[in-house]
Amino acid sequence: MITPLIAANWKMNKTVGESVRFAQQLVAEFAEFTEREIVIAPPFTALYPVAQVLQESPIHLSAQNVHWNEKGAYTGEISPGMLVDIGCEYVIIGHSERRTLFGEKDDDINRKISTALTFDVTPIFCIGETLDERIAHKTFDTANRQIKEGLNNIPSDDIKRIVIAYEPVWAIGTGKTATAEQAEEVHRYIRELIVDSFGEDTGKNVRIIYGGSVNGDNIGGLMTQPDINGALVGGASLDVESFRNIIKY
């Protein structure tokens, strides 16, 4: 049985104080909660103080990005070792905003996934098609390419450690969302692709979560689908009451 994972991606939002207060409220309510795995991804500036709040709680800390090198002359970047040092257990890799706004390519994402795994940080590996690709019926082609190139040369034993997040680009921050059935169709394809590439045991146990305007109204329907194992939540995770409702779907 796969434990559902609900992750909050705050993107470039919240000051340190706002992040800490949110984390404190979450810990107060979910300190004994084990029905879902809860992950929050504050901005870099708030990671360390939020980590202090989350100590001794079941809530996990994620970064929103990472570099593929351990250290070096990479002004403005953060290494996986630095994330481990402050208590991060997860890192979001390959989000569509990193791909489209900052030019990240599949091979960049592959290097980041490989390095994160080396440091025992769990990648939340994002994939998803643009609106043009969906209209052109290239959803599966895009998923196939992004997964195969993103996971290139990753050992089979490590694949189960990765969380795959299907986020159709056309549904991120737009208020639009794939129907539960549309999302399940792609999730099922991803799972079958992982089975074919890495074996049945890996494919059936890897967590595949959905992102793209997830909120309290649509989370229940999404989570009834057999191949959807959780959600990566953007805007609706910025308000503690909204995120609480999603966790308790």
d(CA 182, CA 111): 30
- The rounded Cα 180 to chain-centroid distance in angstroms is 18
> N- to C-terminal Cα distance for the chain?
18
Tell me whether residue 167 is one of the annotated catalytic residues. Answer: yes
Identified catalytic residue from 37, 97, 133, 167 = 167
Residue 181 falls in the annotated catalytic set: no
Q: Which of 95, 129, 133, 187 is catalytic?
A: 95
* CA 28 – CA 36 distance, rounded (Å): 16
Are 78 and 66 spatial neighbours (Cβ–Cβ below 8 Å)?
A: yes
Cα-based torsion angle of the residue sequence 88, 94, 95, 100 in order, rounded to the nearest 10 degrees: 140
Asked if residues 231 and 246 have their Cβ atoms less than 8 Å apart, the reply is yes
The set of catalytic residues is 95, 167
